[in-house]
Amino acid sequence: MPDRLLIIGGNAGGMTAATWARRQSPSAEITVVERSLDVAYSECGMPYVFGGQIASLNSLVRYQPQELVQKYQLKILNQSSVESLNLSSQFAEVQSLSSNQTSRISFDYLILATGAKANRPNIEGLNLTGVFTLRHMPEARKIDEYLKTTNPRRAVILGAGYVGLEMAEALQTRGIEVTVIEQSQKLLGCFDGELKAQIVNELTNQKVKLVLGETLHGIVGRQRVEHVTTSSGIINTDLVIIAVGISPEISLAHASNIRLGASGAIAVKDTLQTNFLNVYAAGDCAEANHIVLDKPYYLPLGTTANKQGRIAGINAVGGRAGFAGIVGTQAVKVFDLEIATTGLSFDEANKMGFWAKVVSSRSVSRAGYYPGAERIDTTLIYDERTGRLLGGQMLGREGVAKRIDVIATALYGRMKIEDLLQLDLSYAPPFAPVWDPILYTVRNVK
């Protein structure tokens, strides 16, 4: 009898697991349960639909369910929800959200790829028309419909993280007056000082109002949002986007005594196995080993979800694969700025017990004499005692988003900062100066 594999969650982690499980085992019976109508789509592309760079939300859907069924011989139950798990008897109770009918699915192996949910502040007015979070495709479709039917003139975005700033650009591009409210004094969770000032200047020049160090107290309106109240006053608005981060969706895991890590996400081994031998977890619901810290960490990213999904899918049907971990590499475009970070920030490194030291430089993206050369600011963080590289941040108008990958690779290799000076990085006037910005920065280490 072939192995029966049940996967809960049909996006990045879950569908990647399903397709790699099929590659590993041609005979396994693979069932994927997904709450929404869509599977295998890019959440990261949603802001660019609202900004007009991508034609429609449908462009983000890589496969329709029927295509995956035919190509990989999967059973896909979309618009369905797993209501409970019985791990000892190895079955799940599944409810169809369209018909309300309940069925029981037996399994030999289980992969939890339940993802994450958008955080929602404890304030009044969250249920008013015109108030949204942006996490999954159903939410994106609601925002898209609202923008098309109401033509809002003003928007408030709560949170200056990656999604918040991407949505600020998208809405401003549509001619909407945008105010971003951020409770902390940092942008994107880690940028302060000179790099933060450049981001603030870019937003200001693009007519986005940025309010730092303020708390949103409430959202007010009769049926539709009319204004928000903050710690310093009232801001009138027709649209509110809540973008204050996400949390792992672990309700099924918690109810089934699947062990959670210190972060609150599902604890996994490098095989993506949980504390149950036949249960795996992948994607935004699971922890990952942080290579710099050498301990479990929660940083939900699409890249990690795909990689973990591959490992979980292979191993669940008898393969042998391992996931080394993450260093937390991220990049974002804020209007004409490219902003990227990897590893630990200076504050994080100090908090984690390193003797953190910073070295920074200002260089250019191409040879200075070549037309179009743009300024790049680079910051590297390292341990003063051992010299080990701990992280890096870069900001500029070109050449940033992929250069950060050099620093990420060095972190993966546990290199010392002085080792970077020996890297044989490419040089040609249209692409880089003879001393690449990363090498130029390392030269400043004393």
CATH number for 120-244 (one of 3.50.50.60, 3.20.20.70, 3.30.70.980, 1.10.150.120): it is: 3.50.50.60
- Surface-to-core class of residue 425, CB atoms within 10 Å of its CB (0-12 exposed, 13-18 middle, 19+ buried): middle
Of 37, 44, 321, 421, which is the active-site residue? 44
pLDDT tens track for 148-190: 999 999 999 999 999 999 999 999 999 999 999 999 998 998 8
pLDDT of residue 193: 85
Tell me which residues of the chain have a pLDDT lower than 50. none
Homologous superfamily (CATH) for 340-442: FAD/NAD-linked reductase, C-terminal dimerisation domain (3.30.390.30)
Same topology between domain 4-35+43-117+247-316 and domain 340-442: no
Q: Could you tell me which of 371, 373, 379, 411 has the C-alpha nearest to residue 395?
A: 379
pLDDT of residue 399: 95
Q: Kindly indicate whether the domain formed by 4-35+43-117+247-316 is annotated with CATH number 3.40.630.30.
A: no
- Surface-to-core class of residue 350, CB atoms within 10 Å of its CB (0-12 exposed, 13-18 middle, 19+ buried): middle
Is 285 one of the annotated active-site residues of the chain?
no
Q: Domain map of the chain by residue range?
A: 4-35+43-117+247-316, 120-244, 340-442
- Surface-to-core class of residue 218, CB atoms within 10 Å of its CB (0-12 exposed, 13-18 middle, 19+ buried): middle
pLDDT tens track for 302-339: 999 999 999 999 999 999 999 999 999 999 999 999 99
DSSP string for residues in 133-198: E-SSHHHHHHHHHHHHHH--SEEEEE--SHHHHHHHHHHHHTT-EEEEEESSS-BTTTB-HHHHHH
